[in-house]
Amino acid sequence: MNVDQLAADVVRGDRRALARAITLVESAREDDQQAAARLLELVLPRTGGAMRVGISGPPGVGKSTLIEALGCHLVDRGERVAVLAIDPSSPTTGGSLLGDKTRMERLQASERAFIRPSPSSGMLGGTAPRSRDALLLCEAAGFSVVLVETVGVGQSEIAIADLVDTVVLLLPPGGGDELQGHKRGLLERTDVIAVNKADGERAGDAAQTRADYQSAARLFAASVPGFAVPVLCVSALDGTGVTSLWDAVRAHRQALFDAGLLEQRRAAQAERALWHAVEQALLAQLRAHADVQAALPAAVDDVRAGRTSATAAARVLLSRLSSRG
Ligand SMILES: Nc1nc2c(ncn2[C@@H]2O[C@H](COP(=O)(O)OP(=O)(O)O)[C@@H](O)[C@H]2O)c(=O)[nH]1
Ligand SMILES: [Mg+2]
């Protein structure tokens, strides 16, 4: 593989080269990872130029439908739009992948768009750094907006806040009155809230939910001092509110920039990505190490049977890593 050629093709904006480049950074093979590292070094000076926007929310809320509506709106305005879909909850089912393909038909057909569904192989906790690399590659390819779709369950909205400039949380009508516990934590990492499906007979419900979130939003700290988290109603299906949503995203990013926090946020994200990558590389090294492999079955048996504590067994395995082999 000619990595220099691939880098040049990506920078030229060749979408097939971009797709191949993302496949390369997602590969778990050692030689691919070496090539991927070189590729990223080559394109890094071309990165940083996109608006990085996360669309998070529960399954079925309408994220893909919204991205189709928003993406087409942006493409019509002359933007080049890349879409990355991350689905950490079901890496193997491909359910979201099918949904995304059918829901983004018009965007998919646009020459100014690039859509990448979630990686289909089951990667062991490995999505975060690779998603970041995929995002950087999209920027290098000249996309001015990168939209990242992710299911908002558990850890994933934390991951999305580590990846983008602005997190949009998409919620269904109803449920605005119960804002304790996990939902609260989720809201605190959100920059813009949109209540979707504000159409037909649910329009009234959506307006009520919006009011509930609006009063709740006053209670938590925004990512930019003085910037109140906007709460809007949208209909991804008929397009109502999509323009206002994009205005809110731009306003958030502008506020971030004006406060000098955009660079800071991105620098902190890059640092966390470093530690993520170090953890994963160490883990891969550990698993591949012959002495560790030899000791692993007994260690697992002992821990499962309660003969050894997990902490003690981990120390034994780690001590093997520093031995030769
Ligand atoms: N009525 C209505 N239905 C919507 C809207 N947005 C999405 N849907 C429907 O909700 C379902 C799930 O949409 P999808 O975009 O796949 O949700 P995702 O899982 O969050 O990506 C589909 O049947 C959509 O047609 C909307 O604004 N209004
Ligand atoms: Mg989807």
Structure tokens at 243: 């323009």
| Ligand 1 binding pocket mutation candidate from 147, 237, 238 (most atoms within 8 A of CB) | 237
Nearest ligand, CA 118: 2
CB burial of residue 291 (10 Å; 0-12, 13-18, 19+): middle
Pocket of ligand 1 (CB under 6 A): 57, 59-65, 99, 103, 196-197, 199-200, 235-237
Q: Are 273 and 132 in contact (CB under 8 A)?
A: yes
pLDDT band at 118 (very low <50, low <70, confident <90, very high): low
Task: Show me where the domains of the chain are located.
Answer: 1-45, 47-259, 273-321
Ligand 2 centre to CA of 100 (Å) is 5
Amino acid found at 129: P
Q: Which of 5-19, 96-110, 292-306 has the lowest mean pLDDT?
A: 96-110
**Closest atom, ligand 1, to C-alpha of 59:** 19
Would you say residue 221 has pLDDT above 90? no
What kind of fold does domain 1-45 have according to CATH? Answer: 1.20.5
pLDDT digits (tens, 9 = 90+) for 143-196: 999 999 987 655 555 578 889 999 999 999 987 666 555 566 667 778 999 999
Ligand 1 centre to CA of 66 (Å) is 8
End-to-end CA distance of the chain: 30
The class level of CATH for 47-259 reads alpha beta
Ligand 2 centre to CA of 30 (Å) is 31
Q: What is the mean pLDDT of the chain?
A: 87
Amino acid found at 201: E
Residue nearest to atom 9 of ligand 1 (CA): 62
> Which string of DSSP letters, residue by residue, matches 203-254?
HHHHHHHHHHHHHHHTTS--SSTT-PPPEEE--TTT-TTHHHHHHHHHHHHH
Most confident of 245-249, 290-294, 316-320, 321-325: 245-249
Would you say residue 88 has pLDDT above 60? no
